[in-house]
Amino acid sequence: MSRTATITRTTGETRISCTLDLDGTGTADVQTGIGMLDHLLTALAKHGRLDLVLTCEGDLHIDDHHTAEDCAIVLGRALDQALGERRGVTRFGHAYAPLDEALARAVVDLSGRPWPEVRLDLRREMLGTIACENVTHVLNSLAIASRTTLHVDVLRGENDHHKAEAAFKAVALALRQAVRLDGDAVPSTKGVLE
């Protein structure tokens, strides 16, 4: 069973192509035009053992919002498509990830019901060329587009780069658990995850 998806999306603001393999090795080629976003999505793929190719041409002459949001939407849709009926997945995952003084926790439920609760406690205005508010927005949009319940909390930290990266690594580790195959049943008392 192939658990891959390729999604393309073209709007007046962005042109995005994404290929995702849930059963990969963590290979990533991410080119969004926003260096920090590339870094965070590469960490997500690496630690989630997801193979990811994502390219975006966005309206960065305006700002980073459309590119960040649309990349998350496309990646989320790819995750949703690759999961299919979500048959046989473990469904739940949780993880902690430290990065020096920062510590993040992520809990995932591939429930088919989108619900993000993301608290990163970022204090700077920008990380490189991405607004800190958009780092949070990426995780929110990813959860909604992938139809996933996602709770992410940075429990401590001083350096915003460390906090953001720890959060994405925790999400990666939690996703890695949740997408793992464990039998053939739909893991729900309802018999469906939608």
> pTM for the full model?
0.95
Domain boundaries, the chain: 4-179
Give the burial string for 4-34 (b: 16+ CB within 10 Å, else e). Answer: ebebeeeeeebebebbbbbebebebebebbb
How far is 144 from 179, CA to CA, in rounded Å?
17
Look up the CATH number of domain 4-179: 3.30.230.40
Residue 193 has pLDDT above 90, yes or no: no
How far is 41 from 25, CA to CA, in rounded Å?
15
Residue 16 pLDDT: 98
The tens digit of pLDDT for each residue in 122-164 reads 999 999 999 999 999 999 999 999 999 999 999 999 999 999 9
The tens digit of pLDDT for each residue in 155-187 reads 999 999 999 999 999 999 999 999 999 877 666
